[in-house]
Amino acid sequence: MATIHFISGLPRSGSTLLAALLRQNPRFEAGMSGPLAGLFGALLGEMSARNEFSVFIDDAKRERILHGLFDSFYADCPADVVFDTNRGWCGWMAAVSRLFPDAKVIACVRELPWVVDSIERLIQRNVFTPSSIFGFNPGGTVYTRANGVVGQDGMVGAAYDMLKQACFGAQRDRLLVVQYETLTAEPARTMRAIYDFIGEPMFEHSFDHIDYDVTDFDERAGTPGLHTVHSEVRAQPRETILPPDLFNRFVNDAFWRDPAAVPAGLRVV
């Protein structure tokens, strides 16, 4: 099987852009968030004590079955290096390190107000297409939507909690935090840091001609533009569409930007 690494972190923080860049390397396979993490969690649950036959499954069997999941899923992938993308991987750092001792996890992050702003911008852009993010509910306000995504079980809140667990956990030495702001403003430096982190020879990437289109998936999800990647990597300053009080609720949540708050051994680019 190919060498496997993981892309995780916060939504709307550059994971699809990063995957689009990585896949320029013919030795690499990377893409948008996929189903493996969900299958992984489902298998863990079905092999737990809630299954009356779990008495026949010990940890050695669980490990082989979970490893086999990856082997089977990527059996037809010709790449030497695979990056599997899902926000859930930050929550399974201990399991990932057991299954793949050499695997690294790249956590894409972004300042929280701009994550929420980006989600709201999508919703307001697609005014006639209710989004799967909110259960295709056409109602609500910017406040109810923000509260929903940042809640403990929301797409932002859950990912943020998993990110913090990974950043402060025992496996943080295999984690690289990649800031959206750095990726878009200094893509060459960011890619050099990633190659150094995973121990692969550097590849000359193009930051002016990026080709990655998953329009059909986004339209089926009722959120056109959810995984849109622009053809050129560039920072795009803009004004927020969030009310000031809502925007300011999240301005101090980017702990990775405070050197005093970053735990020893955690790499941030």
Structure tokens at 15: 């994971």
Question: Tens of pLDDT along 159-208?
Answer: 999 999 999 999 999 999 999 999 999 999 999 999 999 999 999 998 88
| Confidence at residue 89, expressed as pLDDT on a 0 to 100 scale | 97
Q: Which of 165, 193, 189 is nearest to 263 (CA)?
A: 165
DSSP code of 115? H
What values do phi and psi take at 222, rounded to 5?
70, 20
Question: Tens of pLDDT along 68-107?
Answer: 999 999 999 999 999 999 999 999 999 999 999 999 999 9
Q: Which domains does the chain have, with CATH numbers?
A: 1-266 (3.40.50.300)
27, 45 Cβ separation under 8 angstroms: no
Q: Kindly write down the DSSP assignment for every residue of 179-203, as one continuous string.
A: EHHHHHH-HHHHHHHHHHHHT----
DSSP code of 124? H
Per-residue confidence at 108, pLDDT binned at 50, 70, 90? very high
Cβ count near 23 (within 10 Å): 17
pTM of this structure: 0.89
